[in-house]
């Protein structure tokens, strides 16, 4: 039997009562005892010990004199026994099987926030894997006793599932907004007016060298030759010819 609790104390009380309402001394506790158990004294390794087979713990019995518990008791007198068991929850089992794995899965889903948003396969695979793993982890609660109220462990599991699921939805929203932003950029580029090549060139300005005379139109400068070495050779030959004519 797999138990999630460990008994550490038992309290036993005996009461004397009567069916008649006019009798004095009703609900008198004439015997009570409390036994404290120490699991370290009789563990699994000491089950063959005779002292541990009928281990009752360290008990402290107490008795009280009641008027109904006497030789003069009638047929209307009866006794009752009350037993109270005190358990201690085994936290190590829940800690290593449920709480630590849930924390690890949630932190693993947050790793996707540091991955490049353009890496769609990596982030989607990580998000879906953490969601499915958290759903599988939540099935461990099914083996526990069913109750009609919400337990703390149920709130814990639901909160972990919400964190993992919202991490996946967050990337879906980011990917949707990123795709809309990328589609809007080409539309803005197409909407710009076309500029003719001639409008970008500087306009030629004419200046009159002689006052009172109309300004002469300057011819646009010819395009520079592609090879600067040919230009220097042409200028040098022209100067040599002009110098020969002067002589």
Alpha-carbon distance of 217 to 198, in angstroms, equals 19
pLDDT class of 197 with cuts at 50, 70, 90? very low
Considering only CA atoms, which of 111, 105, 130 is closest in space to residue 119? Answer: 111
Nearest partner of 75 among 18, 30, 24, judged by Cα: 18
190: confidence class by pLDDT, cuts 50, 70, 90: low
Name the DSSP letter for residue 225: P
Write down the pLDDT at residue 8: 79
The conformation of residue 45, written as its DSSP 8-state character, comes to G
Helix locations, the chain, DSSP H? 50-53, 91-94, 100-110, 120-138, 152-190, 228-246
Q: 11-22: buried (b, 16+ CB within 10 Å) or exposed (e) per residue?
A: eebbbbbbeeee
List, for residues 48-104, the tens digit of each pLDDT value: 566 566 566 677 888 877 777 775 667 788 888 888 988 877 777 778 888 999 999
Kindly indicate the confidence band of residue 189, based on its pLDDT and cuts at 50, 70 and 90.
Answer: low
- Please name the residue that has the structure tokens 């926030």: 113
pLDDT, tens digit, 9 for 90 and up, residues 158-170: 999 999 999 999 9
pLDDT at 204 over 50: no
- Each residue of 14-64: pLDDT tens digit? 888 888 877 777 778 888 888 877 666 665 555 556 656 656 667 788 887
Contact by Cβ (8 Å): 131, 165: yes
């Amino acid at each position: 039997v797999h138990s999630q609790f460990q008994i550490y104390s038992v309290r036993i009380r005996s009461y004397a009562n009567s069916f008649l309402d006019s009798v004095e001394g009703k609900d008198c506790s004439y015997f009570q005892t409390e036994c404290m158990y120490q699991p370290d004294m009789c563990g699994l390794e000491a089950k063959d010990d005779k002292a541990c087979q009928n281990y009752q713990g360290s008990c402290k019995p107490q008795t009280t004199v009641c008027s109904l518990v006497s030789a003069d008791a009638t047929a209307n007198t009866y006794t009752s026994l009350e037993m109270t068991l005190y358990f201690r929850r085994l936290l190590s089992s829940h800690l290593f099987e449920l709480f630590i794995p849930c924390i690890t899965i949630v932190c693993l889903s947050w790793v996707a926030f540091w991955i490049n948003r353009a890496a769609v396969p990596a982030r989607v695979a990580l998000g879906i894997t953490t969601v499915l793993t958290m759903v599988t982890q939540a099935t461990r609660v099914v083996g526990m006793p069913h109750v009609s109220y919400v337990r703390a462990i149920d709130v814990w599991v639901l909160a972990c599932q919400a964190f993992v699921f919202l991490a996946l939805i967050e990337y879906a929203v980011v990917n949707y907004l990123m795709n809309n932003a990328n589609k809007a950029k080409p539309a803005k580029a197409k909407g710009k007016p076309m500029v003719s090549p001639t409008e970008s060139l500087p306009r030629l300005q004419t200046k009159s060298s002689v006052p009172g005379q109309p300004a002469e139109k300057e011819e646009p400068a010819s395009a520079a030759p592609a090879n600067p070495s040919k230009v220097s050779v042409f200028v040098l030959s022209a100067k040599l010819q002009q110098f020969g004519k002067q002589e």
